[in-house]
A and B are shown apart, each in its own frame.
Chain A
Amino acid sequence: MSDQSRINNAITLIARLSIDKSSRTLSKFVRAGARIELERAYVVDVSDATKVIAHGESEVVGALVSLTGDAPFKFLFFVGLKDSFLLADLILRRPLGTTTGFDLYASSAVQEIGNVLATSISNVFATDFQIVMKSTPPMVLHDYAETLFEEYILEAAAEKNELFIIETKFFVVEHNINCHMFIVPLHGSEEVLSSIANRM
């Protein structure tokens, strides 16, 4: 197995552990069963990366978070515009349908989910691998899905022509809300990921 494959396996393991933690935290947060699944982990040419995002949800709300430290990562959480309204109502314990437009509540809901996910991933690094990571405050964006994704991969793509991407899907089961999360390791994370891979 090549060094890169071992590193990719380490990232996938971290993602799986993070997903377990995130699912539990998110379920409590929205007071509904939230299930997060690892959809796929893949290496893709930067030019094909934005094409994978074309899934029909053109207008989305997303939270972009950077994790800084010894293994820098970036993740993007996003949800279709109308589903962001439902998330806002669930989080605020309001009757579903109360939020009808993209406002401060919808924006804050997505930002809070970004925070929950960032904390879960940071906890996995800290508790399972003794690596301290800090997260930046989530940047909330309301735009085309492709534009969000382009801005998200820009930093990683500046260094490499191929990206390793982990794609997950969330379901807030009772309410049929589908969300997406992507994780991309940044330049400088290889050494730590390699040491994690060696322990596996």
Chain B
Amino acid sequence: MSGMDTSNEILVGVAELKTGKGPQVIKTNLGSCVAVCLYAPAQQAGGMLHFMMAKAPTDVDAKAVKKAKYADTGVDELISQLKGLFGVADGDIQAKIFGGAKVLKEVTHNIGYNNEVAARAILRDRNIPIVSSKTGGERGYKIEFNLGTGKVRCQIFGEEIKEY
């Protein structure tokens, strides 16, 4: 799931989190999943969580839970790794969130929206400010998180690239 990758381009899959330092760039693609990008400007360090669902199950052994699959366990794991690997303190971290689209229009259950709501609630609870976001819609997202600048380039399918 985790850890610091030393290559310049870091690819994050579904239910995965990765951390790194500038000038590394972390990339992912999203549909109804949400990416939480945490950044500590002073250290030029950050990480991305690409989670699938809002809450980890409570009826299974915690060790069997893939933390990065869920918003609640994934955000805490990402914060913990940033602290452990880069000495980031609580007040240093800011967040940007992306994704949460409703790609499957025929499906009534809106997983994407639930994921977005969960991400916002957990970050609020951990006192991490969300400095920008782009969420919702019905199309996929391609995002690139530059750890040198903290900027995120985001392209929604069929639209222009925008920077957040």
Chain A positions within 8 Å of B, measured between CB atoms, are 46-51, 54, 59, 64, 139, 141, 143-144, 146-148, 150-151, 153-154, 157-158, 161
A139 touches B140 (CB 8 A): no
A154 touches B52 (CB 8 A): yes
B29 touches A47 (CB 8 A): no
| Closest chain A residue, CB of each to CB of B157 | A143
A143 touches B69 (CB 8 A): no
| Closest chain A residue, CB of each to CB of B68 | A47
List the B side residues contacting A46 at CB < 8 Å. Answer: 13-15, 66, 69
List the B side residues contacting A141 at CB < 8 Å. Answer: 103-104
How far, in angstroms, from A48 to B15 measured CA to CA in the complex? Answer: 9
How far, in angstroms, from A139 to B68 measured CA to CA in the complex? Answer: 28
Given the interface pairs A143-B139, A144-B142, the reply to whether A157 lies near B29 with Cβ below 8 Å is: no
Decide yes or no whether B88 CB sits under 8 A from chain A.
no
A47 touches B1 (CB 8 A): yes
List the B side residues contacting A147 at CB < 8 Å. Answer: 29-31, 101, 103, 139-141, 157
| Closest chain A residue, CB of each to CB of B13 | A47
How far, in angstroms, from A140 to B83 measured CA to CA in the complex? Answer: 43
Chain B positions within 8 Å of A, measured between CB atoms, are 1, 11, 13-16, 29-33, 52-53, 66, 68-69, 101, 103-104, 106, 111, 139-142, 157
User: Looking at the complex, which one of A54, A150, A154, A161 makes contact with B66 (CB distance below 8 Å)?
Assistant: A161
Q: In the complex, which of the residues A59, A144, A146 has the most CB atoms of chain B within 10 Å of its own CB atom?
A: A144
| Closest chain A residue, CB of each to CB of B50 | A47
Given the interface pairs A47-B13, A49-B14, A154-B111, the reply to whether A146 lies near B29 with Cβ below 8 Å is: yes
A158 touches B32 (CB 8 A): no
A48 touches B13 (CB 8 A): yes
How far, in angstroms, from A180 to B111 measured CA to CA in the complex? Answer: 26
Q: In the complex, which of the residues B16, B29, B53 has the most CB atoms of chain A within 10 Å of its own CB atom?
A: B29
A157 touches B103 (CB 8 A): no
A50 touches B13 (CB 8 A): yes
| Closest chain A residue, CB of each to CB of B138 | A143
List the A side residues contacting B104 at CB < 8 Å. Answer: 64, 139, 141, 151
How far, in angstroms, from A70 to B33 measured CA to CA in the complex? Answer: 29
A156 to chain B, nearest CB (A): 11
Given the interface pairs A47-B1, A64-B104, the reply to whether A154 lies near B32 with Cβ below 8 Å is: yes
List the B side residues contacting A150 at CB < 8 Å. Answer: 14, 29-33, 140
List the A side residues contacting B106 at CB < 8 Å. Answer: 139
Given the interface pairs A147-B157, A150-B31, the reply to whether A158 lies near B140 with Cβ below 8 Å is: no
How far, in angstroms, from A16 to B101 measured CA to CA in the complex? Answer: 35
User: Looking at the complex, which one of B15, B52, B53, B157 makes contact with A144 (CB distance below 8 Å)?
Assistant: B157
How far, in angstroms, from A51 to B15 measured CA to CA in the complex? Answer: 12
A-B contacts besides A141-B103, A147-B103, A147-B140, 13 pairs, CB < 8 Å:
A48-B13, A54-B11, A59-B157, A139-B104, A144-B29, A147-B29, A147-B157, A150-B33, A151-B31, A151-B32, A153-B14, A158-B53, A161-B69
